[in-house]
């Protein structure tokens, strides 16, 4: 990114950002405001969410978000500058930024499946400054105009919501089907909200956090199981008259949870893996084969998911409840909060939003 030159907002200015100089360390630094290059815009960040992958980057465990880095990819803001060939009327637009872009040349990009582009690039990876900064650059196509009544906080929540919506589309849930979501952190909760849009017959969730289970019930789950207090397989099987569910979503990168998912998935059901398994995650092939279960992988989203999310929100079919945001913090507080999240000190956290007011 940042090819070419453009004066204006970016010229000579500096901004604050949270940088991970090495694994286990976060600091507030001042860096130059990036300059939009060919086909790019400059976005003033208004709200940025902290994702579990950002915590993994802080810990040095993420596969591509590696220190030293200024990361962050869940964001909404305002376009303040555009490259010369980009439509000037975009300046002032309130946007959510879809944080990846394909090469535009490969078979996946040509088919609109750029989320699977082998050469895809991400905001907050390498030298592409991410959302934990006052400004980011993005291509024009990565920017989705927010509905008039949607807040910047909700705009930042669109990214994880689109993960859930994309998973729903991959699962092809049909009206009246039964659903289980194992783990209702941010992605599991967004999957629950997305599932509710498909008119399922029943939804069960699991999570050790009482606060998350309560929130899941508030968001429409029919059953919320504490896997540390009771056998989730037994509880879900009992609730479905011993059949298991039509579709089960794995939203925790755990071998144990993966085994539970197989056990609660009915014969000829679908098992959808959303969680990022950077290692492990083996499935017993015979349990898939003899019961004709289908295993589906799902990763990220495309512009279609962003457009769908905003249509559902505008029509009132989907609500990004304020309670889903556990805390709102200033950038200066972010290093301490990041360290606390990495230490597991916020087990009830669903989403932390960094506000740039």
Count of Cβ atoms closer than 10 Å to residue 75 Cβ: 32
Question: Would you give the end-to-end CA distance of the chain in angstroms?
Answer: 26
Separation of alpha carbons 346 and 355, rounded Å: 19
Q: What is the CA radius of gyration of the chain?
A: 20
pLDDT tens for the chain, 357 residues long, are 543 333 345 567 999 999 999 999 999 999 999 999 999 999 999 999 999 999 999 999 998 999 999 999 999 999 999 998 888 889 999 999 999 999 999 999 999 999 999 999 999 999 999 999 999 999 999 999 999 999 999 999 999 999 999 999 999 999 999 999 999 999 999 999 999 999 999 999 999 999 999 999 999 999 999 999 999 999 999 999 999 999 999 999 999 999 999 999 999 999 999 999 887 888 989 999 999 999 999 999 999 999 999 999 999 999 998 899 999 999 999 999 999 999 999 999 999 999 998
CB 187 within 8 A of CB 214: no
The pLDDT assigned to 7 comes to 38
Say which residue the tokens 């088919």 belong to.
Answer: 111
Separation of alpha carbons 201 and 65, rounded Å: 39
Q: Can you list the domains of the chain with their CATH numbers?
A: 14-145+325-355 (3.90.180.10), 163-297 (3.40.50.720)
The pLDDT assigned to 357 comes to 83
Query: Angle at the Cα of 188 (from 178 to 289), degrees rounded to 5?
Result: 55
For β-strands 74-82 and 94-97, DSSP reports them as: antiparallel
CA atoms within 13 A on the CB side of 353: 26
Count of Cβ atoms closer than 10 Å to residue 222 Cβ: 15
The pLDDT assigned to 11 comes to 61
C-alpha pair distances (Å), 187 with each of 38, 208, 220: 34, 15, 15
The pLDDT assigned to 279 comes to 79
What pTM, to 2 d.p., does this model score? 0.94
């Amino acid at each position: 990114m940042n090819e070419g030159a453009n004066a204006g907002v970016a010229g000579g200015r500096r901004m604050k950002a949270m940088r991970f100089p090495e694994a286990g360390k976060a600091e507030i630094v001042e860096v130059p405001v990036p300059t939009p290059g060919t086909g790019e815009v400059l976005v003033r960040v208004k709200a940025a969410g902290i994702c579990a992958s950002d915590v993994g980057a802080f810990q040095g465990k993420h596969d591509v978000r590696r220190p030293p880095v200024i990361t962050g990819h869940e964001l909404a803001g305002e376009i303040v500058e555009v490259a010369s060939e980009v439509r000037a009327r975009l300046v002032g637009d309130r946007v959510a930024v879809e944080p990846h872009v394909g090469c535009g040349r490969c078979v996946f990009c040509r088919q609109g499946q750029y989320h699977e582009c082998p050469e895809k690039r991400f905001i907050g990876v390498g030298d592409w400054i991410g959302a934990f900064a006052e400004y980011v650059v993005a291509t024009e196509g990565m920017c989705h105009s927010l509905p008039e009544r949607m807040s910047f906080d909700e705009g930042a929540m669109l990214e994880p919501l689109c993960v859930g919506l994309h998973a729903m589309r991959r699962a092809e849930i049909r009206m009246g089907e039964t659903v289980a979501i194992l783990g209702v952190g941010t992605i599991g909760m967004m999957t629950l909200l997305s599932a509710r849009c498909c008119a399922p017959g029943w939804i069960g969730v699991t999570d050790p956090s009482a606060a998350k289970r309560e929130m899941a019930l508030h968001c429409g789950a029919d059953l919320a199981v504490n896997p540390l207090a009771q056998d989730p397989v037994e509880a879900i099987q009992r609730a479905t008259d011993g059949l298991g569910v039509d579709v089960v979503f794995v939203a925790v990168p755990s071998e144990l949870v993966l085994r539970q998912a197989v056990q609660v998935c009915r014969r000829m059901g679908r098992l959808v893996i959303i969680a990022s398994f950077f290692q492990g995650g083996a499935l017993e092939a015979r349990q898939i084969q003899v019961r004709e279960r289908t295993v589906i992988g799902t990763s990220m989203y495309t512009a279609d998911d962003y457009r769908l999310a905003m249509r559902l929100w505008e029509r009132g079919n989907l609500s990004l409840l304020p309670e889903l945001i556990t805390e709102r913090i200033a950038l200066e507080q972010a290093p301490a909060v990041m360290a606390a999240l990495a230490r597991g000190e916020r087990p009830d956290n669903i989403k932390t939003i960094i506000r740039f007011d």
